[in-house]
Structure 1
């Protein structure tokens, strides 16, 4: 193992910078993961790549100038003292928040909602996965089944985990149809998982013809529609992955009487007429932020059981040396998910 490695940093001016840094050594309860794949998330683009701002920052910007990337998956190559569950050679997904482990949210597995001062997100307050190696807390590692690739694992780490939690909240099953609004990577994930959970029919809504075409090519949905097409209020479950006011209105409008609506898209606002749109239809709205450690573990197992591969939604893969090109594409005209492969020799 080399003493140094390359890591990607985001200055906040729509560029990605590669820097050389020391390979860290794991301390107590920590593991060193050789990164096989690390996804680029929409929140990386919106909150860090263009400019450092908000997103749960307490004292100034949330991004602390660390190695970027909160969607890593790879193989453990070294373990620190006191590690008990994972060892060298284990394939893992890294859940992207290291919480305090003691608050109620952490004890439920929702490290994402930890509010303790020591809470740190990979790629935001501590070095993340856009590097050859990432130093991870053993408590944040999720087993990656042998049937899934490291790219699959990287997608489970955020987008697929987020979609799964949103669909679990609204109880998607074979008794009704599912409407997915916004066919970016999270929306594509919702379509795939919704099918795995048994939804009778899965329909997608997306304003971009390019993304609709990509979704159609993948065969994820029974049908895709533009936002101007009439959507009947007949869906037992709907999920908005767009994070837009118009998208959320579409998800609410497409819900049937007694329907259940999940909101997982970041940012924007929610604006709706209340009586006819919500009250008279007896709707239930769920707001969901990422997922829990236990649900992420469950999802990895379920994807194998359903015969689904998250990497299907990946349109572009780049070596870490081309991180600048990867981010530029992810922030612009990518059809699907963009992923970095820091250690492409890992299979």
Structure 2
């Protein structure tokens, strides 16, 4: 992320004749003549960062920036730009000098290696760029009402953790602590999900029907995958138990069979949603509400099932498991333990 915008903010006002004090340090011309008051430059920089004078990181950055200007511009050029651009001479001088822009931006390097979010303006700028990135690079439908709150939450966590310029890349690594802390605290990316996965709540028990409180369901391990029998009406198939999947997932052929048997109707259609499989494949699915899904002695209602022509295995996901108060796998007995 580039921070040149900050220096351009504070130099866009007249800083040549304010806060004059005896013994004031000056930014000098190349020939050594006093031109701009150094403390005024630094003060406007801190103000532009929306920090305060006690923010030592902001003071260091702004002092470094001011010092890059010292003995840099010839006096003749300074006077020329003051005639051409009253009150904006320093801004214009900087806009035309790429080398000086880089030196000014380099002032952030040391600080950002320790704490990237040391000022409120940097937090705001990063939040806005994060929101723009999500909008531009996400294929799934977004919940616009959640984007800003998600980004605010994420940046707040990064600032609290004093994330530096190196570790900020972890925000895109699903295996990192930072990614998962943000997902846990901020609710994951603000996708418009038909069936957001949630933890168990008492109301879920009303969707589980069965005379027993606990049931043990036989499972098998095939190719390292845990599989079990799932019955929907008269249709019985072997499904993969996938606690990393959100909903139930079947092929288009299976969904057509469920529609023909009137186990699902067109009135149950909820829309389309993308699902990301464990191997990284992204499937666009037609999504339906489904009832009467039987596993062992339990029958579960109010589930969500997606159908795609690219689906080869049937998946029983987290929204099914989360209907139960507790569930576990007994590896010794090869059983799924479900507790209503």
TM range (shorter): under 0.3
User: Which is higher, the Rg of structure 1 or of structure 2?
Assistant: 2
Q: Which has the higher contact order (CA 8 A, sep 6+)?
A: 1
Query: Where is the helix percentage greater, Structure 1 or Structure 2?
Result: 2
What TM-score, normalized by structure 2, do the two folds share? 0.22
